[in-house]
Structure 1
Amino acid sequence: MITAELLDVTLLAPRLKHPTVFEYFDRLEAGESFMIRNDHDPKPLYYELIAERGPIFTWEYLEKGPEWYRVEIKKNEILPQDPLATIPGKDIAKAQILKEKNVQFGCASEEKDSTLPPVRPRTQNSPPTTFQEQSKWSLEFLCDYIVETHHRFVKERVEPLNDLAQKVAEHHGQTSPLLYRFATMTYHFLQDLLDHQVREEEVLFPMIKKAVAYSKDPSQGGDYEPGILSQPRALLEEEHHIAFTDMDYLKKLSNEYSVPEDACNSRRLVYRLMEEFQEDLLTHLRLEEQVLFPRMIALDEQNLASTK
Structure 2
Amino acid sequence: MAERVEDVHFGDDGVPEGLSILLRQMIGEMEVHMKKEELILFPAIRRGGMPGIENPIAVMRADHAGHDCEVAEIRRLTGNLSLPDGACGTWTALYRGLAEFTADLTEHMRLENDVLFPQFEPAGRADA
- The equivalent residue for 1:170 is 7
- Report the AA paired with residue 250 of structure 1: I
Distance 1:252 1:165, change over 3 A: same
Shift of 1:247: 0.3
Q: Contact between 2:14 and 2:79, CA under 8 Å: does it hold in 1?
A: no
Alpha-carbon offset, residue 228 of structure 1: 1.6
What does residue 197 of structure 1 align with? 34
Q: Does the CA-based 8 Å contact 2:14-2:78 persist in structure 1?
A: no
* Residues 119-140 of structure 1, C-alpha deviations (whole Å, 9 max, x = no match): xxxxxxxxxxxxxxxxxxxxxx
8 A contact 1:169–1:179 mirrored in 2: yes
CA contact (8 A) 2:71 2:102 kept: yes
Q: How many residues align?
A: 122
**SS at structure 1 position matched to 2:16:** helix
For the residue of structure 2 that corresponds to 1:180, the secondary structure is: coil
Contact 2:14 2:84 in 1 (8 A): no
Structure (1/2) with the larger helix percentage: 2
Q: Please show how residues 140-219 of structure 1 align to structure 2 within 5 Å.
A: 164-176=1-13, 178-211=15-48
* 2:103 paired residue number: 279
Deviations 1:222-255 (A, max 9, x none): xxxx422011111111110000011011101100
Asked if the contact 2:2–2:19 (Cα under 8 Å) also holds between the matched residues in 1, the reply is: yes
Higher radius of gyration, 1 or 2: 1
* SS of residue paired to 2:51: coil
Alpha-carbon shift at residue 178 of structure 1 (Å): 4.9
Which residue of structure 1 aligns with residue 62 of structure 2? 238
Cα distance between partner residues in 2 of 1:178 and 1:296: 44
| Alpha-carbon separation, structure 2, partners of 1:201 and 1:255 | 35
TM-score, L = length of structure 2: 0.86
Instruction: Supply the RMSD in Å over aligned alpha carbons.
Output: 1.7
Aligned to 1:51: none
CA shift, 1:174, in A, is 3.3
The alignment's TM-score, normalised by the length of structure 1, stands at: 0.38
Deviation at 1:176, TM superposition (A): 4.8
2:93 alignment partner, one of 262, 266, 269: 269
- 2:71, 2:120 → 1: CA distance? 26
Contact 1:259 1:267 in 2 (8 A): yes
How far apart are the structure 2 equivalents of 1:177 and 1:256? Answer: 11
Q: Does 1:289 align with 2:113?
A: yes
Q: Which amino acid aligns with 1:289?
A: N
Could you tell me which amino acid in structure 1 is paired with residue 86 of structure 2?
A: D
Letter of the 1:244 partner, please give it. D
- In 2: Cα distance, 1:195 partner to 1:173 partner: 31
Q: Which runs of 5+ in 2 are unaligned?
A: 123-128
Q: Offset at 1:194?
A: 2.0
Contact kept? 2:17, 2:77, Cα under 8 Å: no
Structure 1 position 281, deviation (Å) = 1.0
Instruction: Compare the two structures and name the one with the higher strand fraction.
Output: 1
SS at match of 1:168: helix
Alpha-carbon distance between aligned partners in 2 of 1:248 and 1:179, rounded to the nearest angstrom: 13
- Which residue of 2 is the match for residue 63 of structure 1? none
Question: How big is the shift at 1:210?
Answer: 2.2
Gaps of 5+ in 1: 1-163, 213-225, 299-308
Q: Secondary structure at the match of 1:179?
A: coil
